[in-house]
C-alpha cells in the first residue's frame, strides 16, 4: 500500500537549479532566472525564483532544524523507554 503524505498549501515540493538563463512564469508575471538561481515549485504548481545565496542559507537552516528534531525524537524515545 502506498503511503500518503499531507502536503501543506504552498509547501515547496521541488527545487531546480538553473543551468541556462531561463524565463519563468510566476504569480508576479514572467521573470528571468539567471544561471545558478533556483526555481521553486510549490504544491499548487506555482513557480518562484530565488538566488543561490538565499537557497543555500535556507537549506542550511533546514538541515540544522532537521538534526535538532532528530535529537529531540531520540531523547523522547529514551525517556519513554
- Looking at residue 71, its pLDDT comes to 87
- Looking at residue 35, its pLDDT comes to 96
pLDDT band at 34 (very low <50, low <70, confident <90, very high): very high
pLDDT band at 8 (very low <50, low <70, confident <90, very high): low
> Is the full-model pTM beyond 0.85?
no
Q: Which residue matches cell numbers 537549479?
A: 17
Sign of the CA dihedral with 41 first, then 42, 46, and 49 last: negative
Q: What share of the chain is helix, strand, coil (3-state, %, to 5)?
A: 35, 30, 35
Amino acid at each position: 500500500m502506498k503511503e500518503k503524505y499531507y502536503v501543506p498549501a504552498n509547501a515547496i515540493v521541488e527545487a531546480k537549479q538553473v543551468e541556462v538563463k531561463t524565463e519563468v512564469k510566476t504569480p508576479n508575471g514572467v521573470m528571468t532566472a539567471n544561471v545558478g538561481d533556483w526555481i521553486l515549485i510549490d504544491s499548487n504548481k506555482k513557480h518562484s525564483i530565488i538566488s543561490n545565496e538565499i537557497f543555500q542559507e535556507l537549506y542550511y537552516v533546514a538541515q540544522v532544524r532537521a538534526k535538532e528534531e532528530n535529537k529531540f525524537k531520540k531523547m523522547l524515545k529514551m525517556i519513554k523507554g
